[in-house]
Amino acid sequence: MLALVEHLQGQGLDIRYDQVVLNIGDSLIQKISREIADGDFLVAVISPDSVESGWCQRELSMAATQGINQQSVKVLPVKFRAPAMPPMLEDTVWADADRDNVETVARKLVAAMRANLEGRGDDAAREAEAAEEAEGEPAHAEMPGDVGVAQIEEVAQRAWDVFQAWTGVWDAGNVRDLDDPQRRLRWALDALPDRARAALPLVTQLASSDWDGFFANAEPGESEREMRDELRTVRTRIAQGLPVVGRWLAVSDDGRVDAGNRDATAYLWGIQRGQETRRITVFISRTAMESTDEGLPQEVVAAKSTHGRSVLSTLVSLDDPPRQVMVTTAGISLTPPG
């Protein structure tokens, strides 16, 4: 979604989304409904997660109702990660982010917006999309021999070598077995542009830490998952020609804190990017805490079991992550109500 926002903004569009529309203390229903009413279109990224989100379905319903009342196109769906489309959108033409890269999706959306704003209707929008189709590229496409992608893949391979050595030490190996693969990982990291290297703090930590400072206390499986996500994010952005954003690193667990006037349990975490630090408060609603895990979204279950740490994985790739996050039975909101 954030990558799509960047491309649409790059074409001169005024894009509003929750991180810039909502402020602490706002009424979610009032503010969101106002933004939907005032905007020309609602670009709805339809994923398996959004299909299960009550908030997303409310936003879709509000926008679809307005479109029906005004006899105009209001909702522009983008299909992502092979969801089952909601019934209200089954007869709507959508952009396909599983097939096309984000730049192509943005071009198709702009063409459809232009056709509808000019009053040329659905047929013209479909023709505009067909024209863009001829110029489109598949999702995550890259040029053959792309140097940036190849460098990231080299870093990934060297990181995997360190993980293998790490596992070997746990199986009664020698700590010195980490020295050579760590050295090779540092060489691979040094070959990256500064911006790409800054977006890989976990991998950098893997390359430079000693046994007592990191390996003896970290859990290999969880660390591998987080670093794989970090590498995948950077590789995707480089492959799609998007700017690489410096990534934050979780550095402190300050434990449970006062939740103030919220009916929730609050946990405080510290993240860092270079010399910049930020404190993130994760609020988990009382209802979510008291609910059985069965039937809850997976990210809510993970937030409960990790005291909010799992939520950080959704924040560390953002350039300006929010300082407060709310976890409810419906999922994770980056802008909690006051």
3-state DSSP call for residue 249? strand
Secondary structure, 3-state, 195-240: HHHHCCHHHHHHHHCCHHHHHCCCCHHHHHHHHHHHHHHHHHHHHC
Name the strand (E) or helix (H) holding 284: strand 276-285
Residue 107 has pLDDT above 80, yes or no: yes
Determine the pLDDT at residue 279. Answer: 94
pLDDT in tens, 113-141: 888 777 755 554 555 554 444 455 555 45
Distance (Å, whole) CA 215 – CA 170 = 10
Determine the pLDDT at residue 275. Answer: 86
Determine the pLDDT at residue 269. Answer: 96
Which of 26-40, 80-94, 215-229, 301-315 has the weakest average pLDDT? 26-40
CATH code at 2-135: 3.40.50.10140
Domain ranges in the chain are 2-135, 147-239, 249-333
Distance (Å, whole) CA 210 – CA 60 = 50
Q: Is 292 left (phi over 0), alpha (psi -120 to 50) or beta?
A: beta
- The overall average pLDDT reported for the chain is 81
pLDDT in tens, 156-207: 999 999 998 888 888 777 889 999 999 999 999 999 988 888 889 889 999 9
Residue with tokens 């809850």: 296
The verdict on pTM exceeding 0.85 is no
8 A C-beta contact, residue 300 and residue 288: yes
Task: Look up residue 5 and give its amino acid.
Answer: V
